[in-house]
Amino acid sequence: MVAINGTFDELDIVWRSNSPELHKLRKLVVREIMSNKGLSACYGFRRREIQQMVKNIHGKMLLKYGGSLNGEEAKLGLEINDQLEEFVGLMGEPNFSDIFPMLRPFDLQGIESKTKRHLSWFYGFLELVIEQ
- Give per-residue pLDDT as tens, 57-92: 777 766 555 555 456 666 777 888 888 888 888 888
Q: Pick left, alpha or beta for residue 124 (phi over 0 → left; psi -120 to 50 → alpha; otherwise beta).
A: alpha
Distance CA 45, CA 36 (A): 15
Contact 109, 96 (CB under 8 A): yes
* Mean residue pLDDT across the chain: 79
Is the pTM higher than 0.75? The answer reads no
110 pLDDT above the threshold of 60: yes
Name the residue ranges covered by the structural domains of the chain: 42-131
Distance CA 112, CA 119 (A): 10
Average of pLDDT values for 2-7?
A: 42
Q: What pLDDT, on a 0 to 100 scale, did the predictor assign at position 5? A: 37
Average of pLDDT values for 21-31?
A: 86
pLDDT confidence bin for 39, thresholds 50/70/90? confident
One DSSP character per residue, 53-104 reads: HHHHHHHHHHHHTTT---THHHHHHHHHHHHHHHHHHHHHS--HHHHSGGGG
30 pLDDT above the threshold of 80: yes
Burial level of 132, CB count in 10 A (0-12/13-18/19+)? exposed
